[in-house]
Amino acid sequence: MHVTRQQAIKVSDTMALSLDVNDSGRQVISSSSDGSLSVLQADESAMTVTTQWHGHDLEAWNVAVDRWQDEVVYSGADDCMLKGWDLRQPGSAPTFVNRKSHTAGVCCIASSPRQEHCLLTGSYDEHIRMWDSRKFQSPLAEVRTGGGVWRLKWHPRDPVQVLAACMHNGFAVVQADASTGNIRVVEEYPHQKSLGYGADWCSLPTGRFSIAATCSFYDRLLHLWTPQTLCSDLTQSSN
Query: Taking the chain, what is the end-to-end CA distance rounded to the nearest angstrom?
Result: 39
CA angle 153, 154, 156 (to 5 degrees): 120
Determine the pLDDT at residue 179: 96
Determine the pLDDT at residue 43: 81
Going from the first residue of the chain to its last (239 residues), give the mean pLDDT of each consecutive group of 10, the final group possibly shorter. 64 91 91 96 85 95 97 97 93 92 98 97 98 97 98 96 97 97 96 94 87 95 95 51
CA atoms within 13 A on the CB side of 87: 24
Q: Is the separation of the CB atoms in 98 and 80 below 8 Å? A: no
Q: Which alpha helices (H) appear in 2-55, and where do they start and end? A: none
Taking the model in full, what pTM does it have? Answer: 0.92
DSSP 100: S
Q: Is the separation of the CB atoms in 128 and 112 below 8 Å? A: no
Determine the pLDDT at residue 38: 94
Determine the pLDDT at residue 233: 56
Q: Which amino acid is at 70?
A: D
Q: Hey, which residues does 142 pair with through a beta bridge?
A: 129
